[in-house]
């Protein structure tokens, strides 16, 4: 900020000095020219002898009132030059005022000023570009807010409608069998738990956005963490007849927030399960690369287009809205990226030839 102010002050000093120098040079040139012209006229007049007559009396009158004939042109010339140079900064000011009005509703059209105002022109165009960027960001923020409302309505309505429907059946069906009643209650409980998980996810992403993520560091064995995760996912893997192949070295130690890193791996494995072809294998590998640990989750599934791959870590973005009952609210990967970024790591995604790969890089120290 201080540097910008100094630059603006230096520019104002330059343009002020330029105008003042031009004013003084013009004034000096006028005075010198006037006296040279007067000297030339005096030299010419002295070369002749004038008998009494109109020319004689006129020249005598000029001689008697010489200060007046010198002073009036000098004052008039000074006033004219001063007026012209006083008008120049006012013209500059009019240009700036006219250009500033364009900033109220900025467009892609460049602001053009006089050559002397090139620096001001560049600054105003920078302000215009910033205003355009801010307007675009505001528009995108408004769109994200609308998307959030849409996702909230869609994601909460679906399980809630199921809960209401099955509870209505239980209320209205008087002669329902115990087996069917148990089935309806089981489905209702599943949908209610789904609704609770969605609400918890929305609260969690809001908490991550509005507050700094506090990490509780401890030293953990990444290999043991991944083995435990694969074991816990066995029932879910069995539903789609999937297998999980884990390849990691022994005793791969990492200092991190164990709970949050576990959340990341859980999200990535859950994502691999949801978008895997049935009867395929999920590969999880971990290896040391220089000062980092690189963990890779790879599965066989529909190739993700590049335009979708570039947005996959955005909040509330889902690859397939029709699979939202399995794919969650579109928050898992966004939360994973925030956690990995907080650990000074990186997360990326690749997809080609019906293969989907997520890579997490975490610094050891």
Enumerate residues 6+ apart whose C-beta is below 8 A from 256: 215, 217, 218, 220, 343, 362
Residue for token digits 């148990």?
A: 182
Confidence of residue 143 (pLDDT cuts 50, 70, 90): confident
> Which among 274, 280, 275, 262 has a CA at the least distance from the CA of 335?
262
Most confident of 170-179, 261-270, 291-300, 329-338: 291-300
Kindly state whether residues 234 and 335 are assigned to the same domain. yes
Residue 355, pLDDT score: 92
Where is the domain boundary, 210, 237, 259?
Answer: 210
Length of the chain counted residue by residue:
365
Structural domain total, the chain:
3
Helix ranges restricted to H, 173-218 = 178-210
Do 293 and 261 touch, CB atoms closer than 8 A?
Answer: no
More confident residue, 233 or 330: 233
Kindly state whether residues 318 and 193 are assigned to the same domain. no
Kindly state whether residues 235 and 359 are assigned to the same domain. yes
299, pLDDT greater than 90: yes
CA 83 to chain centre: 48
> Which among 206, 218, 163, 171 has a CA at the least distance from the CA of 187?
163
Kindly state whether residues 339 and 241 are assigned to the same domain. yes
- Is there a domain that residue 331 lies in? yes
For residue 281, the surrounding DSSP H or E stretch is: strand 281-289
Kindly state whether residues 231 and 313 are assigned to the same domain. yes
- Is there a domain that residue 98 lies in? yes
For 207, the token pair is 């908490």
Enumerate residues 6+ apart whose C-beta is below 8 A from 326: 274
- Is there a domain that residue 79 lies in? yes
Residue 223, pLDDT score: 92
Do 13 and 119 touch, CB atoms closer than 8 A?
Answer: no
178, pLDDT greater than 50: yes
Enumerate residues 6+ apart whose C-beta is below 8 A from 319: 275, 304, 308, 312, 327
For 91, the token pair is 């013209």
Residue 3, pLDDT score: 43
- Is there a domain that residue 319 lies in? yes
Mean pLDDT of 333-349: 87
Mean pLDDT of 155-174: 78
**DSSP, residue by residue, 79-110:** HHHHHHHHHHHHHHHHHHHHHHHHHHS--SSP
For 118, the token pair is 């090139």
Where is the domain boundary, 188, 210, 232?
Answer: 210
- Is there a domain that residue 40 lies in? yes
Do 282 and 269 touch, CB atoms closer than 8 A?
Answer: yes
Kindly state whether residues 250 and 315 are assigned to the same domain. yes
User: Is this structure's pTM higher than 0.85?
Assistant: no
Domain of 227? 218-363
Kindly state whether residues 344 and 232 are assigned to the same domain. yes
Task: Give the separation between CA 259 and CA 245, rounded to whole angstroms.
Answer: 23
Most confident of 5-19, 97-111, 256-270: 256-270
For 124, the token pair is 């105003």
- Is there a domain that residue 119 lies in? no
Confidence of residue 295 (pLDDT cuts 50, 70, 90): very high
Do 228 and 244 touch, CB atoms closer than 8 A?
Answer: no
More confident residue, 190 or 363: 363
Residue 321, pLDDT score: 46
Mean pLDDT of 140-163: 70
> Which among 360, 334, 335 has a CA at the least distance from the CA of 347?
360
């Amino acid at each position: 900020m201080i540097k910008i102010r100094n630059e603006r002050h230096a520019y104002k000093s330059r343009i002020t000095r330029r105008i003042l120098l031009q004013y003084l040079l013009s004034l000096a040139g006028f005075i010198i020219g006037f006296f040279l012209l007067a000297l030339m006229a005096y030299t010419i007049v002295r070369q002749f002898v004038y008998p009494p007559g109109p020319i004689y009396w006129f020249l005598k009158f000029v001689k008697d009132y010489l200060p007046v004939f010198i002073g009036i042109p000098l004052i008039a010339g000074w006033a004219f030059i001063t007026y012209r140079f006083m008008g120049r900064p006012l013209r500059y000011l009019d240009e700036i005022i006219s250009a500033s009005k364009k900033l109220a509703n900025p467009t892609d059209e460049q602001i053009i000023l006089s050559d002397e105002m090139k620096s001001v022109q560049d600054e105003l165009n920078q302000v215009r570009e910033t205003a355009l960027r801010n307007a675009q960001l505001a528009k995108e923020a408004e769109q994200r807010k609308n998307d959030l409302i849409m996702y909230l309505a869609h994601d909460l309505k679906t399980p809630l409608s199921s809960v209401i429907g099955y509870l209505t059946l239980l209320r209205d069906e008087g002669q329902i069998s115990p087996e069917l009643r148990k089935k309806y209650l089981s489905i209702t409980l599943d949908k209610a738990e789904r609704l609770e998980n969605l609400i918890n996810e929305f609260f969690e992403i809001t908490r991550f956005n509005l507050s700094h993520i506090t990490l509780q560091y401890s030293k953990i064995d990444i290999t043991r963490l991944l083995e435990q995760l694969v074991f816990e996912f066995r029932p879910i893997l069995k539903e789609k007849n999937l297998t999980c192949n884990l390849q990691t070295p022994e005793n791969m130690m990492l200092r991190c927030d164990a709970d949050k890193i576990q959340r990341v791996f859980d999200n990535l494995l859950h994502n691999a399960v949801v978008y895997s072809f049935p009867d395929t294998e999920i590969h999880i590998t971990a290896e040391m690369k220089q000062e980092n640990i690189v963990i890779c989750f790879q599965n066989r599934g529909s190739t993700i287009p590049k335009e979708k791959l570039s947005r996959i870590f955005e909040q509330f973005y889902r690859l397939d809205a029709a699979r939202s009952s399995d794919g969650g609210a579109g928050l898992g990967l966004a939360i994973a990226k925030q956690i990995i970024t907080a650990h000074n790591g990186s997360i990326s995604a690749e997809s080609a030839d019906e293969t989907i790969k997520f890579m997490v890089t975490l610094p050891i120290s």
